[in-house]
C-alpha cells in the first residue's frame, strides 16, 4: 500500500515585507486506489502544493512522506529516481517538446525510462483520449485541449504509481473533462494508483474519493 502524507507543511516565498505564505500548516493524506481532488481558486496554493508533493519544490516547514520515507531526507539523486520511477506529472504548461510530433513525445520518454506501457495498452489509452489521429502532428498544430490530452497521455505512459495533475481539464469541454477524470478514476481503482488532481474546476467534484479545499494556502477536507 502506497501513501503520500503532508504533515503540517508550510511554504513561504520571499522574506521581510515581501514574505508570502503560500501554504500554511497543510495536512493531507492520500493512499493507493484513491482519486483525490484539491479544489481552490486561482492563487490559493494548488500548484505549490502539487509541486511539493512531487518533490519539485521543498517545504519551508513540516514533512512530506512518500511510502513512509520523508522526501527531504532523500538525496537529490534518490529524489530524481523516485520522480522518474513513481511519479507522473501533468503540468499546467503541458511541457511538450515543440520540435517533436505527438508520437515522438512518447519515444522520448522511452529514452529516459524503460518499462513503459505496452504498445497495446498505449493504443487503448490514445483511443480513450481521442488522440489516435493526431500522432504525427506537432504541438503547434494542436488545440489547447489536444495538447492537454497529449500531456495527460504522456504522464500515464510511464505507468507511474502516483499521478499528480495540475488543472488537467482546464482546456477541455465538459464531456472531455469527465472522460479524463473517468480514465484517472479507473486507474486508481483498477491499478491501485494514487491520483491527485488540483483544480478550480468544480465539475469534477462528484468523481473523487476525497475532496480537499484550499483557500489562501489553508487546506481542509470537505
Ligand atoms: P494556484 O496554483 O492555486 O493558482 P500557486 O500555488 O501557483 O496558486 O500560487 C500561490 C501563491 O503563491 C500565489 O500568490 C503566487 O503568487 C505565490 N507564489 C507561487 N510561487 C511563487 C514563487 N516562486 N515566488 C513567490 N511567490 C510565489
Ligand atoms: Mg496553479
pLDDT tens by residue, 167-209: 999 888 999 899 889 989 998 998 899 999 999 988 888 889 9
CA distance 100 to 27: 40
Q: Locate cell 508570502: which residue? A: 20
Would you state the pLDDT for residue 137? 97
For ligand 1, say whether the CB of 23 is within 6 Å of any of its atoms.
no
User: Nearest residue CA, atom 10 of ligand 1?
Assistant: 45
Residue 69: enclosing H or E segment and its boundaries? strand 69-70
Asked if 65 and 93 touch (Cβ cutoff 8 Å), the reply is: no
For ligand 1, say whether the CB of 93 is within 6 Å of any of its atoms.
no
For ligand 1, say whether the CB of 43 is within 6 Å of any of its atoms.
yes
Measuring CA to CA, how many Å separate 115 from each of 39, 129, 158, 189, 194?
33, 21, 7, 21, 19
User: Nearest residue CA, atom 27 of ligand 1?
Assistant: 13
Using only C-alpha atoms, the chain has a radius of gyration, in whole angstroms, of: 17
DSSP 203: G
Blockwise average pLDDT, block size 10, the chain, 222 residues: 94 94 98 96 96 94 94 90 91 90 94 91 92 96 93 93 93 89 91 94 90 97 94
Nearest ligand to the CA of 219 is 1
DSSP 163: E
For ligand 1, say whether the CB of 34 is within 6 Å of any of its atoms.
no
Report the Cα 132 to chain-centroid distance in Å: 23
Nearest ligand to the CA of 214 is 1
CA distance 157 to 51: 20
CA distance 134 to 202: 29
User: Nearest residue CA, atom 16 of ligand 1?
Assistant: 43
51 CA to centre of ligand 2 in angstroms: 10
Would you state the pLDDT for residue 161? 93
For 159, phi and psi rounded to 5 degrees?
Answer: 55, 50
Q: How many helices (H) and strands (E) does the chain have?
A: 6, 10
Would you state the pLDDT for residue 93? 82
For ligand 1, say whether the CB of 47 is within 6 Å of any of its atoms.
yes
Instruction: Give all domains of the chain, ordered by start, each with its CATH number.
Output: 4-221 (3.40.50.300)
Asked if 208 and 36 touch (Cβ cutoff 8 Å), the reply is: yes
Would you state the pLDDT for residue 203? 86
Would you state the pLDDT for residue 111? 92
Would you state the pLDDT for residue 217? 98
Would you state the pLDDT for residue 151? 93
Amino acid at each position: 500500500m502506497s501513501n503520500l502524507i503532508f504533515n503540517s507543511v508550510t511554504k513561504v516565498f520571499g522574506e521581510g515585507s515581501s514574505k508570502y505564505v503560500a501554504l500554511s500548516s497543510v495536512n493531507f493524506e492520500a493512499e493507493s486506489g484513491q482519486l483525490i481532488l484539491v479544489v481552490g481558486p486561482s492563487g490559493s496554493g494548488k500548484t505549490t502544493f502539487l509541486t511539493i508533493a512531487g518533490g519539485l519544490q521543498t517545504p519551508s516547514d513540516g514533512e512530506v512522506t512518500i511510502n513512509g520515507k520523508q522526501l527531504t531526507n532523500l538525496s537529490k539523486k534518490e529524489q530524481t529516481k523516485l520522480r522518474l520511477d513513481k511519479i507522473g506529472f501533468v503540468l499546467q504548461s503541458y511541457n511538450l517538446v515543440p520540435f517533436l510530433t505527438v508520437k515522438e513525445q512518447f519515444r522520448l520518454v522511452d529514452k529516459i525510462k524503460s518499462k513503459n506501457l505496452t504498445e497495446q495498452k498505449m493504443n487503448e489509452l490514445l483511443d480513450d483520449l481521442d488522440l489516435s489521429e493526431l500522432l504525427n502532428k506537432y504541438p503547434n498544430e494542436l488545440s489547447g485541449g489536444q495538447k492537454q490530452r497529449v500531456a495527460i497521455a504522456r504522464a500515464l505512459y510511464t505507468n507511474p504509481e502516483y499521478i499528480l495533475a495540475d488543472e488537467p481539464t482546464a482546456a477541455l469541454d465538459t464531456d472531455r473533462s469527465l472522460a479524463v477524470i473517468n480514465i484517472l478514476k479507473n486507474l486508481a481503482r483498477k491499478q491501485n494508483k494514487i491520483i491527485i488532481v488540483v483544480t478550480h474546476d468544480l465539475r469534477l467534484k462528484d468523481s473523487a474519493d476525497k475532496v480537499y479545499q484550499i483557500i489562501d494556502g489553508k487546506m481542509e477536507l470537505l
